[in-house]
Amino acid sequence: MAKSSRLNRTGVLSRVTVAAITAALVGTTTAATAADAPKPTIAGVEQASGASAFSAASAAAVAPVNYLNGVNSAGIIWRYEPVGGGAIQRLNTQSGSGWNYDKHFSQADMNGNGSADGMYTVNRGNLTYTAFGGSPRFIGGGWGIYNEVFSAANTGGGTADDVLARDSAGVLWHYLGNGNGSLTQRYRIGSGWNAYTQIAGKGDVSGDGRPDVVARDRNGVLWLYKGTGNYRTPFASRTRVGSGWNTYNAIVSSGDLNFDGKADLVARDGAGALWLYKGRGNATTPYTGRVKIGTSGWNGFRELF
Ligand SMILES: [Ca+2]
Ligand SMILES: [Ca+2]
Ligand SMILES: [Ca+2]
């Protein structure tokens, strides 16, 4: 399935791809090409368990349905599958390795079908995009100037997911996705974003179909920035969500975890427990009360995404 959709999207298969497929068909090994130093790996997203729930919910597509991922200090990636009602379940085997030197992990949907196709990371100042099941690909240099880089879905209003980046002066920049991992030039969104210690978002929370972002300030107040769909001014003025969010050392969104079409928020406390805040589709009260979805050990991940 993945190969045919890739073919449809580009209209043509590269010679390398044809060669790879041919090699696979005749059962030869490609081990000879793997003689270089080991590169980071990430598994494809085709999984048997829960696949029907994934695809049904993804069709709605205003809030993507993705695995929640964690990368630990050994560079190993574990995936957690949404299994209904907001619960998550770790896959039996690790889904990636070799990610010791990357940061700012963020999933992204390239074709607007409501599920991520790969992920962005920053490695020694280089932005890379790694298709799930593929190898890291260089996208651009100079990304060391940013202290926060993530994709909050298609904040620019197009089909592909876009990328937000905050520089050390607190200016937030918008890069629009071309649908193949590459990005446009950057657009200045606004300043003052260094007021926040956490920024998260992956799809629509407010109920208008446009992806939103939440940000936590130093006093523990969480703020909602409603998406506008305009790539030059992608967010409306902030509105206050609530206080007390300094309890958490990580606040992230992987999209919709309970298959209701609204993006949810996940927060990790100091004891390593994981909490789910379900999106309500309402800008005034965007989230329900929290539910514990992970009892302990989540502080073993250096990043969640
Ligand atoms: Ca996709
Ligand atoms: Ca919205
Ligand atoms: Ca949800």
Pair 250, 271: CB distance under 8 Å: no
- Least distant ligand from the CA of 225: 2
Q: 20: pLDDT confidence band, cut at 50, 70 and 90?
A: very low
Kindly indicate the confidence band of residue 34, based on its pLDDT and cuts at 50, 70 and 90: very low
CA 98 to chain centre: 19
Query: Which tokens hold the place of 100?
Result: 């010791």
Output the CA 204–ligand 3 centroid distance in Å.
Answer: 9
Contacting residues for 51 by C-beta, under 8 A, at least 6 apart: none
List residues, by chain if needed, whose CB lies under 5 Å from ion ligand 3: 256, 258, 260, 262, 264, 279
pLDDT of residue 277: 98
pLDDT at site 36: 56
Predicted pLDDT at 11: 31
Q: Tell me: the pLDDT tens digits for 100-109?
A: 999 999 999 9
Cα(246) to centroid(ligand 3), Å: 23
Do 81 and 50 meet the contact criterion of CB atoms below 8 Å apart? yes
Does residue 21 register a pLDDT over 50? no
- Whole-number Å distance, alpha carbon 185 to ligand 1 midpoint, is 22
Band the pLDDT of 52: cuts 50, 70, 90: low
**173 or 49, which is more confident:** 173
Q: How confident is the model at residue 60 (pLDDT cuts 50, 70, 90)?
A: very low
Residue that wins the pLDDT comparison between 21 and 230: 230
- List, for residues 212-260, the tens digit of each pLDDT value: 999 999 999 999 999 999 999 999 999 999 999 999 999 999 999 999 9
Q: What is the mean pLDDT of residues 275-281?
A: 98
User: What is the Cα–Cα distance from 18 to 155, expressed in whole angstroms?
Assistant: 34
Longest CA span, the chain: 61
Percentage of residues in the chain having pLDDT higher than 90: 81
